[in-house]
Amino acid sequence: MEEISKLDPETLECLRLTSAFLAMEPTHCLIYFARECGKGLITSEVQNFICQYCINKIMNEDNPPSDLYVKNFLKKVIVEVESSSIEVLDELYEHFSYYMTSVKDDFERGNSRVYKRVSFLLPNVSSCSRVEKVVIPLQCSVNMLEGDTGSYCVWKSNQITSCCKTPVIHRTQFGLAASGMCFLATRLFVGHSTCRCSIWPSSLFLSEFVLSHPDVFSNKSCFEVGSGVGLVGISLAYVKASKVILTDGDLSTLANMKHNLELNQLKVQTEVSQIECRHLPWESASEEELQGFKPDIVLGADVIYDPLCLPDLLRVLTNLLSPKISNGCTRDKLNDADDEALLVLKTNSNDCKSRESDDHGNCNGNRFDPSEGKLNSSDEPSIGSQRDAAKERQPVAYLATVIRNMETFDCFMTLANQAQLSVLDITETCRPLNLLPYMQSYDRASIRFFRIIFSKTNNEKNSVAHSCNLYEKC
């Protein structure tokens, strides 16, 4: 039998396939990338790569994808190859036979969690055809294999629906709508901790932002509300944030988050630890506790989802973002300095975007020009350099969210305005690099990105942002 040539796992086509496999992307995405490796067909070389690299290598490493997922993938590969009138390798049949006879459904085996590895593909300084990988392993919910399918609340008048089909607990409560009218609301608490242990698209977006602009976060104290699986916090640790405080109101989610930090060799809450995990229910967090954190940057992914939680969320944000006044430094001076810093961030983000091109228009297909090399200190936005005149930095928050219900978002904007928080939509001006080109389940276009600061004089600006069309730049 003629020897089958081997594919290079470091080529971009193979990187996309293996990265999608590690992240447990929907299997039809893997078939797409497998075809890409074979220039349109899943050839013998591609089949051999799947057997040798994906199955023999990755599945024998720590925390591989689930066996059920692998079985489904192999089945689709065989169907695709057979339909193309290409010979299926015996080894591929053998692997599928093994998984077919020995694998049970993860739920039947009592497994409610799986391991995914999110691979961020960064530009490489020295090579046009290579990229650097930042691989983050995470334990997360088993029922989140196809992107943003987490449980969330959709409010309309006095009705609520949920995409989750797990058992629910009903609670009825009075609330105040953004218009000032009272309403009776029924909340469904749906698989709460399971949903918090999912990889939400907004956390992917925030992580891309952190890794695209490391100089914004390096040597800064960063605080995340609703940290979930801890992906954003691990990204912050990678770019050398001086302190990372991750918080969540659910104890089982917090335990899973700590497990994920350990998976990434990050020590939690030791005397010299960079990362700290805190149990922080928004409704019971005291002002003294919140003001004691004193972060430079606050982050949040998909935290604008429940109107009944919004007053507590805004109280938390207000306490974290309220600047101290000392040595003659006024809020106006701090606001002016922060506006200058945002201008630098926008300018450098546009420079980053100008280096991107379509997937077929450059030598690496990764939506950036590798000839520019890795972002260096002169390319990256530098917020701190614009604030030297201020005696103490004013904290700033970056929130990424999918707007699922406009009434809930309107309520958030009204409460933010009342809390003297200036909310600016920076989705178009500060979009990060596309570091997840293989993740087809990740809908970046659905995410809105906001910058929030405490500003006693920005009520009018907030009102304008509130009345803007959501999908126009505010």
- What does the pLDDT look like over 400-429, one tens digit per residue? 999 999 999 999 999 999 999 999 999 999
Token digits of residue 210: 């952190």
State the architecture of 201-323+394-454 in CATH terms.
3-Layer(aba) Sandwich (3.40)
Task: Tell me the pairing of strands 275-279 and 113-123.
Answer: unpaired
The values of phi and psi at residue 270, to 5°, are: -95, 180
Return the DSSP state at 51: I
Residue in this structure with the two tokens 């690496």, named with its chain if needed: 364
- The predicted model scores a pTM of 0.77
- H/E element holding 346? helix 331-354
Beta-bridge mates of residue 156: 159
Residue type, 231: L
- Contact of 4 with 87, CB cutoff 8 Å: no
Average pLDDT over residues 313-327: 83
Strand-pairing partners, residue 85, are none
Q: What percent of the chain has pLDDT over 90?
A: 60
Distance in angstroms (rounded) separating the CA atoms of residues 124 and 19:
17
d(CA 83, CA 138): 35
Cβ atoms of residues 58 and 64 within 8 Å: yes
Q: Please count the helices (runs of H) and the strands (runs of E) in the chain.
A: 15, 13
Task: Please check the confidence at residue 365 and state whether its pLDDT lies above 50.
Answer: no
Find the helix or strand (DSSP H, E) in which 427 lies: none
In tens, the pLDDT along 209-234 reads 999 999 999 999 999 999 999 999 99
